[in-house]
Amino acid sequence: MEKGGRRSVGVAVDFSPCSKAALRWASDNLLRDGDHLVLIHIQPSCQYEEGVMQLWEATGSPLIPPVEFSDPTVTKRYGIQADEETLDILAAAAKQKGVQVSAKIYWGCPGAKLCEAVEDVPLSCLVIGSRGLNRFKRTFLGSVSNYVVSNAMCSVTVVKNIPSAHGYNSVEA
């Protein structure tokens, strides 16, 4: 990470409670004035509008500004559904922290594509949510966060979304 300079901070998002917790954690604890926040979303190769994926499959989409990211026409083209909570977190980070926000979409295996994004964007650091799989499920299903921590060429923070009595809202990094 650059000392005192502008950083590109990546946050892996799939719009699940875990990824929203990671985004919230990055906004509250990591982002500082002048940073560039890049949302990284990975679409499975089977879920795409053929022309868009074929055009950007190798390199990922171009960086998408927040105005387009909240436009239903654009999000439909990329096969994503950004929700109000995510957009609110982004708007607050941009306003309160003075960060530039953009998004980038990749197609393929989440772990490999997140590691690719680190070098492609390039990212100073990456924040990723954890689904909290137990050891048995991690062994058989695999863990994207474990893969990224082991293979990414930057610092990676894994944020656990701890269940509370009222739903998922407690965060631990």
Averaged over successive runs of 10 residues, the pLDDT of the chain (173 residues) comes to: 76 92 96 96 71 69 88 84 89 93 93 96 96 60 84 95 55 57
Residues 97 and 99: their CA atoms lie apart, in Å, by: 6
pTM: 0.84
Question: What values do phi and psi take at 172, rounded to 5?
Answer: -135, 130
What are the DSSP E strand ranges found in the chain?
8-12, 36-43, 100-107, 125-130, 155-164, 167-172
Query: What was the pLDDT predicted at 1?
Result: 45
pLDDT, residue 28, reads 96
pLDDT given at position 55 = 64
Spans of all domains in the chain: 10-172
Q: 3-class DSSP state for residue 116?
A: helix
What is the 8-class DSSP label of residue 64?
B
* pLDDT score at 168: 45
Q: Which CATH superfamily is domain 10-172 in?
A: HUPs (3.40.50.620)
Cα-Cα-Cα-Cα torsion 121, 91, 68, 54, nearest 10 degrees, comes to 40
SS3 12: strand
